[in-house]
A and B are shown apart, each in its own frame.
Chain A
């Protein structure tokens, strides 16, 4: 087998693993932007906060980063509910979300990043776990556990969320709130409360996504910026409201980026997702799997 075929297969496998991780990063946004219509551009900032919490717990107590992120879940959930309450009472209630709501999240993104810089500095931080330096070899295919474990964790996260949204009352109410708030009110469910829970969930996923991020690569505060466009691209490409769509779109972007990095050099990779996003917005704004 030629070297280029080996490169090609490795690039595809790496891309799929990367895509699984992207799904975990994006799934929170599919909840907030896709379903609740809240343009939370600060989502990557919450993810980076998740990375740093996993880092602190890992370095000071030696807890595995992914387990640490599960420990931090309730705190993130509460944080998300609080942010939604502020957003609702300041903007959404008055129909001001278009301009000021966006500016609010932009400010939040910025403030979080600068605070992290002030506290931790701009040095790259990384975590220790037994699996980070191990790589499995299947013939010429390399599968680093550093990528495989985040991918599996991400798939579990997405699966659980899909189950929650389709099987439980609250989950179905979250899906319903995006379609018809009035109808939901007739069923005696408070749309604001449902949205608060949904936004809490969305931020809670950022805790896990953050831990996965710091397992995959060292993190510094401005890393989040690279993810803004990427996760919006995946979210839009996946058709906004569809969680399985998000997963497939994430894999697609992952593979495209990995191929671009392998064959054209890593400096071109960031443009892939964004180029895809611009194309999608121009040609098929409802996304690949949109209704």
Chain B
């Protein structure tokens, strides 16, 4: 399937979801659905760097917060419509991702992971001390109740939900497009054996910088409408650890080698958390995420997708499956040689 076709199919599915929500006539569906969709975008963004290239980013919350705070700043200086705010948030987070990658990607992978953790704390400290965006007290964003489109009064939450739906479709199309392009194959070579890739003439640093930029931009775009959704943005909520954990756990549980993995993980885990938050408690729901993450990386290293492929057997192997298998069982000698 070509990317434009895929995009249209996804949009059609999205339209069905939206109409389903309208038929339900339940505001909670839109509130909960927005959060799940936001996680779809975050997880897909994370997976472009983490799943395709194999570099772990612990600072998803920082990129998310960059998008959110870009919105807060613009809301005070120059109020723009939300789709433009998402674009701005994406550009800001993408640039930070690029700079971040430039600083650390020439080092071993672990340093990048640690540096992303550090980035999140440095940015949070800056925001806490920056009075213009409310400092540690937080900032209020008064959102209108409805949005006027050609005389039609649309409830604002439905508008935000729709935007995030489109954003999720865009993120999935980008991820799938990358996966089937030369860029995606380049990413996969870095993940499998960076030295060998470098030796074969793959421009690894440049590819990694593309990955951090795209990944950061998508996560920033996921965060940009957040202040309008929540109404009151605090550093501790924008930089919440649950974003970092979820954006790692969701692709890991779904499967990291394909665009469908983060989608499956985000929809399953996101809905599960929405239900657990309402029925049990928010601490227990975080415990579930943590346990699922550790359990899955030990027992099912290729996530749900890996389990499905295993069940379907190895018949009719595609390129993607071949790549996935390659990462699944590398030669045991590799570990011993280190």
Residues on A close to B: CB < 8 A? 33, 37, 39, 41, 86, 90-96, 98-100, 102-104, 106-108, 110-111, 114-115, 117-118, 181-182, 225-226, 228-229, 232-233, 236, 267-268, 270-271, 274-275, 277-278, 281-282, 285
Contact = CB atoms under 8 A, between A and B. Distances in A.
A249 to B, nearest CB: 15
Contacts of A117: 283
B286 A106 contact: no
For chain B, what secondary structure do more than half of its interface residues adopt (helix, strand, loop), or is it mixed? Answer: helix
Interface of B: 50, 54, 56, 58, 103-104, 107, 109-111, 113-115, 117-119, 121-122, 125-126, 128-129, 136, 191, 241, 245, 248-249, 252, 256, 283-284, 286-287, 289-291, 293-294, 297-298, 301, 329-330, 332, 334-338
For chain A, what secondary structure do more than half of its interface residues adopt (helix, strand, loop), or is it mixed? Answer: helix
Contacts of A232: 114, 117-118
B290 A268 contact: no
A267 B125 contact: yes
Given A94-B332, A94-B335, A281-B104, A107 B293 contact: yes
Contacts, number: 134
Given A118-B284, A271-B125, A104 B111 contact: no
Contact of B125 (A111, A270, A282): A270
7 contacts: A94-B332, A106-B293, A110-B289, A110-B293, A181-B336, A267-B125, A270-B121
Contact of B129 (A96, A98, A233, A268): A268
Nearest to B256: A99
B184 to A, nearest CB: 17
Contacts of A236: 111, 114
Contacts of B136: 267
B57 to A, nearest CB: 10
B333 to A, nearest CB: 9
Contact of A103 (B56, B191, B336, B338): B56
Given A95-B338, A100-B297, A181-B337, 13 more contacts: A86-B298, A103-B293, A104-B294, A104-B297, A107-B245, A107-B290, A107-B294, A110-B245, A118-B287, A232-B114, A233-B118, A236-B114, A270-B121
